[in-house]
Amino acid sequence: MVNPCAVLVGLLITGSIALDNGLGRTPPLAWSSWNCFALNSNEDGVLANARALISTGLHNVGFEYINIDAGYLAGRDSAGRLIVNSDRYPSGIRHLADTLHSMGLKLGVYTDLSGRTCGNGPGTGSKGHYEMDAQTFADWGADYLKVDFCGPGNASVDPRCISVDPVPQYSAWASLRDALNKTCLLYTSPSPRDS
Residue 33: other Cβ atoms inside 10 A: 23
| pLDDT tens figures, 138-191 | 899 998 888 887 766 677 777 677 777 767 777 777 777 777 765 655 555 554
Report the pLDDT value the prediction gives residue 54, as an integer from 0 to 100. 96
Report the pLDDT value the prediction gives residue 14, as an integer from 0 to 100. 47
Distance (Å, rounded) from C-alpha 107 to C-alpha 146?
A: 11
Distance (Å, rounded) from C-alpha 53 to C-alpha 58?
A: 5
Q: What is the pLDDT along the chain (195 residues), one digit of tens a residue?
A: 544 444 344 444 445 555 666 666 667 788 989 888 888 999 999 999 999 999 999 999 999 999 998 889 988 999 999 999 999 999 999 999 999 999 999 999 998 888 877 765 555 888 888 888 888 998 999 988 888 877 666 777 776 777 777 677 777 777 777 777 656 555 555 544 443
Report the pLDDT value the prediction gives residue 6, as an integer from 0 to 100. 42
Q: Is the pTM of this model over 0.75?
A: yes
68's CB contacts (< 8 A; 6+ apart) are: 33, 41, 46, 93, 96, 107, 108, 109, 110
User: What are the Cα distances from residue 112, in Å, to 33, 52, 78, 152, 189?
Assistant: 16, 28, 20, 11, 9
Report the pLDDT value the prediction gives residue 2, as an integer from 0 to 100. 47
Distance (Å, rounded) from C-alpha 31 to C-alpha 69?
A: 10
Report the pLDDT value the prediction gives residue 125, as an integer from 0 to 100. 84
